[in-house]
Each structure stands twice: as structure tokens, then as C-alpha cells.
Amino acid sequence: MRKNLGSYVGITLMTIMLLTITVFTFAQDVVVLKHTNYTSHYSKSKKYPVMVEWWITKAKIGCPTPLARKDNFKPDPKLPNETDLLEDYKGSGTDRGHMMSAAENLCQTPAVQDECFYFSNMAAQYHSLNAGDWKSVEMLERQISLQNDSVHVWCGNFGEAKRIGRVAVPTNCWKVIYVVKTKEWFCYLFNNNTSKPDGINNNRVDKSDIEKLTHFKFK
């Protein structure tokens, strides 16, 4: 009995140590970058955000004269060296995929729109995802906001399929949408690859599924 208990205690202590190391490593790697309309949790090692968080309201997307989109991709001035990635993306075969959509910043000032094009708000997405199901979810969240006003959105990436320069191409991209008025959750998990889009409903999952995969809690 004592031997078994000792083994159990040893395994437990080892597990705690490994978890502590993992948490410490994550804390050292991920930098929280707060901007006017979004907050990015950016991985310095992966060169993509593991999570971006923001709010959508009617006022932010429903203006009568939105700004013209300007694709002014640039480093984040709060972390310039780690987000100076323009050359890494060139000729890579992947898109500079927005986490917070550019279309959700067109009712702001030009300076705020520019923040949306920081590389701390980008992940290397294959075009089939970026222009397919990912775009469809972006359109859905704006439609929901126009109907219900306040919508809380989180999205992010995990995994590493390969590197394009210094940038890790994530294996998966995810999004969580919470509608304040109706208390509904819309959660999606996508494979980041060159396959044809198969529709957002085929990629809808439970909130708990994404929480388990990312270790983030959404409330």
C-alpha cells in the first residue's frame, strides 16, 4: 500500500511540475497586446495569435458611409520585431488571414482601421479557408450583430503544419461567438488546409470542445 501510494504521489508531483513548466512557458511566449477594438494574445514562437478577442455592435458596423478598405499590413508597434512579417508571407501560398475582420473596422477612424492590419491580428490561412468558411462566419457574426446588437467574439489558432519563413501555419483555426441578447453560442472549429469549404454548419462544435483544445474559458 505504501509503495503504491508513494508511486501515486511521485506521479502526481511530476504531473504538477510538468503543468507548471507548461504554464510558465506559455506565459513567457504569449504577449497580450491591447488595441482600440481588439486584444491579441500573440505567440512569439508561432508568430500568430493564439486568441484574439473583441466586441461587435451595430454602431461599429452599421454606419452609412464606411471607410474604403486599405490593405496596409504592418508590424504591431507594441511588438515590432516579432510582428515584422511582411517578407515571411510573400510567395508563401497562404493568406494573411484576419482574426478580427477588416470589415468590422470600416466604421472607425483610419487610425483604428490600420490597427486591424497589424500582424498580431493575422494568421497564415490557406485561401480556401480564408475566403471560404472563415469569411462565411465573419459575415454571420455581423448579421447577428445587426439583428441583436452586442456580440462578443473570440477566435484563434493552434498547431503547426509547417513554417513559412518564421511563421507557423496553424493546423486549426477556431471561433466562438456569444450573442448577449439571446444568450446563444455559435462555435466553430476549422482545419486549415487547401480542401474545398464544406460549410460552416459542418464545422460547428460545442463551446466545451474549443475550451478543451485551447485551455481558454469563454464566459
- Model-wide pTM > 0.85: yes
Domain tally, the chain:
1
Q: Is residue 49, in this structure, part of any structural domain at all?
A: yes
Residue 46 has pLDDT above 90, yes or no: yes
CB-based burial, 105-119: b 16+ in 10 Å, e otherwise: bbbbeeebbbbbbbb
Q: 192 to each of 50, 54, 107, 125, 170, how far by Cα in Å?
A: 14, 22, 30, 6, 7
- The amino acid occupying position 108 is Q
Residue 10 has pLDDT above 80, yes or no: no
Residue 23 has pLDDT above 60, yes or no: no
Q: Which domain holds residue 42?
A: 30-214
Give, as one character, the DSSP assignment of residue 33.
E
Bridge partners of 43? Answer: 30, 48
Q: Is residue 115, in this structure, part of any structural domain at all?
A: yes
Position 9 scores a pLDDT of: 44
CATH number at residue 87: 3.40.570.10
Q: Which has more confidence, 87 or 22? A: 87
116-138 pLDDT, tens per residue? 999 999 999 999 999 999 999 99
Cβ pair 28, 45 in contact under 8 A = no
75-101 pLDDT, tens per residue? 999 999 999 999 999 999 999 999 999
DSSP string, 54-80: EEE-HHHH--SSPPPP----B--TTST
Other beta carbons within 10 angstroms of residue 130's beta carbon come to 20
Euclidean distance between CA atoms 7 and 16, whole angstroms: 14
Cβ pair 198, 174 in contact under 8 A = no
Q: Is residue 117, in this structure, part of any structural domain at all?
A: yes
Q: Is residue 51, in this structure, part of any structural domain at all?
A: yes
Q: Is residue 219, in this structure, part of any structural domain at all?
A: no
Position 26 scores a pLDDT of: 60
Q: Is residue 89, in this structure, part of any structural domain at all?
A: yes
Cβ pair 207, 218 in contact under 8 A = yes
Task: Tell me the average pLDDT across 195-216.
Answer: 96
Q: Is residue 178, in this structure, part of any structural domain at all?
A: yes
61-78 pLDDT, tens per residue? 999 999 999 999 999 999
- Residue 17's pLDDT band (boundaries 50, 70, 90)? very low
Task: Tell me the average pLDDT across 96-112.
Answer: 95
